[in-house]
């Protein structure tokens, strides 16, 4: 059996509640923020909207001037197909593994200049 992300979140929340006790978890130190909830992206448009929101957060918070400057973001992976600090599974990472296994040529990156074009 393969667990899903929803299963993992459920068991994490359950273990936290057991550790702290149900009243303590709800009243004094909730695990989830009150206005936050999990939700699956239903289509490509919704995924893109949520991803852009996540990528722009460090800029909105004043942590960096450009989206591409935040090293913990997946932006450079999606925009430039670079492998960054956080590993992202996508169609091109799968293709890279397959190409490497077959002894094919390495992928050419687009470069940082492409990040500044909007």
Cβ density class 60-79: b for 16+ within 10 Å, e for less: eeeeeeebbebeebbbbbbb
Mean pLDDT over 114-118 rounds to: 46
pLDDT at 35 over 60: yes
Mean pLDDT over 7-35 rounds to: 64
Q: Tell me, what's the pLDDT at 66? A: 94
Considering the domain architecture, whether residues 10 and 57 belong to the same structural domain is answered as: no
Considering the domain architecture, whether residues 24 and 57 belong to the same structural domain is answered as: no
pLDDT at 5 over 90: no
Considering the domain architecture, whether residues 25 and 50 belong to the same structural domain is answered as: no
pLDDT bracket for residue 22 (50, 70, 90) = low
Instruction: Say how far residue 118 (Cα) sits from the centre of its chain.
Output: 21
Number of domains observed in the structure of the chain? 2
Considering the domain architecture, whether residues 102 and 52 belong to the same structural domain is answered as: yes
Q: Which of 34, 113, 29 is nearest to 76 (CA)?
A: 113
Considering the domain architecture, whether residues 33 and 82 belong to the same structural domain is answered as: no
Considering the domain architecture, whether residues 61 and 97 belong to the same structural domain is answered as: yes
Considering the domain architecture, whether residues 20 and 66 belong to the same structural domain is answered as: no
Considering the domain architecture, whether residues 12 and 29 belong to the same structural domain is answered as: yes
Considering the domain architecture, whether residues 28 and 80 belong to the same structural domain is answered as: no
Structural domain containing residue 63: 44-118
Q: Tell me, what's the pLDDT at 80? A: 79
Q: Tell me, what's the pLDDT at 45? A: 92
């Amino acid at each position: 059996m393969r667990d899903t992300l929803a299963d993992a979140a459920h068991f994490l929340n359950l273990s936290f509640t057991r550790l702290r006790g149900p009243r303590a978890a709800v009243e004094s130190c909730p695990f989830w923020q009150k206005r936050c909830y999990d939700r699956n992206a239903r289509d490509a448009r919704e995924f893109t909207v949520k991803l852009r929101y996540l990528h722009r957060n460090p800029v909105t918070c004043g942590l960096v001037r450009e989206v591409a400057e935040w090293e913990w973001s997946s932006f450079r992976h999606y925009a430039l197909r670079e492998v960054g600090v956080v590993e992202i599974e996508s169609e091109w990472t799968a293709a890279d593994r397959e190409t490497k296994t077959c002894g094919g040529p390495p992928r050419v990156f687009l470069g940082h200049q492409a990040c500044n074009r909007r």
